[in-house]
């Protein structure tokens, strides 16, 4: 077996061991999104203490599989863009940089 194949296999094994942990995170994240949507409905919005604005949306279906609900957000420091435009955040009444 080549060194490249061994490296690829080792990387897979490391990731496979983390798979359950990552799945648990995404299951918890999905439940948290659904709880927010249940409370503030689709189109609802909020801002965190760091100034990031979030809005609940129904995804456009750009992916092979997608969740029924999602939460778009403005970009964080160091990011080029977020899912929610700064213009839209301003239209929603938030102060953003």
Q: Count CB-CB contacts under 10 A for residue 23.
A: 10
The predicted pLDDT at position 9 comes to: 92
CA 4 to chain centre: 33
The predicted pLDDT at position 2 comes to: 97
Domain boundaries in the chain? Answer: 3-91
- Maximal C-alpha separation, the chain: 60
The predicted pLDDT at position 1 comes to: 87
Residues in the chain: 97
Q: How far apart are CA 95 and CA 14, in angstroms?
A: 43
pTM of the shown model: 0.66
pLDDT digits (tens, 9 = 90+) for 29-85: 999 999 999 999 999 999 999 999 999 999 876 656 667 888 889 988 888 888 899
pLDDT at 97 over 90: no
Can you give the C-alpha Rg of the chain in angstroms? 18
């Amino acid at each position: 077996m080549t060194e490249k194949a061994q490296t690829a296999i080792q990387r897979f094994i490391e990731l496979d061991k983390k798979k359950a942990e990552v799945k648990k995170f995404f299951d918890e994240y999905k439940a948290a999104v659904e709880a927010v949507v249940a409370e503030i409905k689709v189109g609802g919005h909020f801002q965190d203490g760091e100034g990031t604005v979030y809005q609940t949306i129904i995804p456009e279906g750009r992916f092979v599989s997608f969740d029924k609900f999602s939460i778009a957000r403005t970009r964080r420091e160091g990011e080029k863009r977020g899912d929610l435009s700064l213009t839209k955040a301003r239209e929603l009444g938030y102060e953003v940089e």
